[in-house]
Structure 1
């Protein structure tokens, strides 16, 4: 899936661009940014692959 899971603050100057939200069912802060929101993780990562509404 070409995902990188790194705390971006540890790499100065890293051009971080988020592409997906995982485990969104657990969030307390709803984010409306147009990115896909996954209930848990994509199927390719062993999750359900279920998306959630923004």
Structure 2
């Protein structure tokens, strides 16, 4: 969980120099979607195991 939160924090900081809220938002949404997919995959794998 710490790695995922670090990735979100780092991702929003990478584009902060450009002062573009749109690119920060897209990156944040993409990161959160990836985290959601990882959690769903872990739950499905655990259920099938």
State the TM-score, normalized to the length of structure 2: 0.23
Higher helix fraction (1 or 2): 2
Choose 1 or 2 for highest CA Rg: 2
